Amino acid sequence: MKRILVPVDFSEQAKFALNFASELNDIHKDVKVTVLHAVEHPLESYLDPTGLAVGMGADAELMQVMKENATKAMKTFIEETLNEAQAQQVNFKIVMGTAYECIQEELEEEDYYMVIMGTKGASGIKEMFVGSNAEKVVRLANCPVITLTRQVCLKTIKNIVFATATLADISKELLAEIKQLQELFDARIQLVRINTPNNFERDSVVKQALQQIADRYRLTNYTLNIYNDQYEEQGIIAFAEEIGADMIAIGTHGRQGLAHLLYGSLAEDIVNHASYPIWTYHISETV
């Protein structure tokens, strides 16, 4: 049984994610969907004499009322998003706490095949200092994550860009997940290496390396590509647009702390800025 987690905040983007997960359930009968909503603790902020905001927690009775209201809202959300047959195939959980922390706890406690979630992305100051919940889940999740910014019909996903800027990041573990993704959608894989001025290799060298990867991991139904651009993120999105891709797949290092601040994450940038469905997987083993 493939268990899929769909975190929701009752937004339009969350509906996109739930619809997508339910389509998977319609096609693959071994899929089980769990919908998760986190009720965040309300904080009453005021300014102390130094001008800093101080939070005051709510009492247990208020939190119980909020949880009951969230349960009602969840039932309404599912009924409005899915048809009756689909609604009967999903279960839901209401938990208390910060959204991305609750999602991470759920993933650590239960064995999930994939996370599917909607996102509005992030930009500017918010992206630099806060980021989106989807970005944080992508960084920390122990399973693949698909993020959506718009309504996507599962049956239309037949051309998946598998992008990399560094061939050394391609691992046995990552390729195994990519092959499962390909099988799930019965799609063609567009393996592409983004050449940038700061990370440039000759086409002949890259083509040989890409072919070796395809042969080593026994890829089928694939195309090898090289795309030149000033920046990796822009190159991936531009290439996807050029070939009419339906999804972008990319590995992530899941950097945290100072490393994340200094080097960032290509996968998280793509999640925040691209309108395509994005599949990400945490890279933990390299060739």
Q: Tokens standing for 8?
A: 């929701």
Q: Are 112 and 104 in contact (CB under 8 A)?
A: no
Contacts of 185 (CB under 8 A, 6+ apart): 154, 157, 158, 160, 247
**Half-sphere exposure (CA, 13 Å, Cβ side) for 228?**
6
Q: Which residues of 45-79 are buried (b: 16+ CB within 10 A; e: fewer)?
A: eeeeeeeeeeeeeeeeeeeeebeeebeeebeebbe
Query: Whole-angstrom Cα distance, residue 174 to residue 166?
Result: 13
DSSP 168: G
pLDDT digits (tens, 9 = 90+) for 138-168: 888 899 999 999 999 999 999 999 998 677 7
Closest by CA position to 2, among listed 249, 220, 180: 180
What mean pLDDT do residues 90-113 have? Answer: 93
Give residue-wise pLDDT tens across range 2-23: 899 999 999 999 999 999 999 9
Rounded Cα gap, residues 86 and 262, in angstroms: 44
pLDDT of residue 239: 96
Report DSSP letters for 240-264, one per residue.
HHHHT-SEEEEEE----HHHHHHH-
Which is the CATH superfamily of the domain at 157-282?
Answer: HUPs (3.40.50.620)
Q: What is the pLDDT of residues 229-282, one digit of tens each?
A: 998 889 999 999 999 999 999 988 754 433 333 334 677 788 877 889 999 998
Residue of 29, 33, 54 lying closest to 44 (CA atoms): 54
* Domain 2-147 CATH class label: alpha beta
Closest by CA to 279, choosing from 189, 194, 218, 211, is 189
- Dump pLDDT digits (tens) for 170-188: 888 899 999 999 999 999 9
- Residue 82: predicted pLDDT: 95
Alpha-carbon torsion angle 159, 163, 169, 171, nearest 10: 0
Q: Which part of the chain has CATH 3.40.50.620?
A: 2-147, 157-282
Residue 44 predicted with pLDDT over 50? no
Q: Which structure tokens are listed for 48? A: 């102390």
| Confidence at residue 215, expressed as pLDDT on a 0 to 100 scale | 94
Burial group, residue 249, by CB count within 10 angstroms (0-12, 13-18, 19+): buried
Residue 172 half-sphere exposure toward CB, CA atoms < 13 A: 3
pLDDT above 80: residue 57: no
| Residue that has been written with the tokens 């005021």 in this structure | 46
Q: Label residue 121 by pLDDT band (50, 70, 90).
A: low
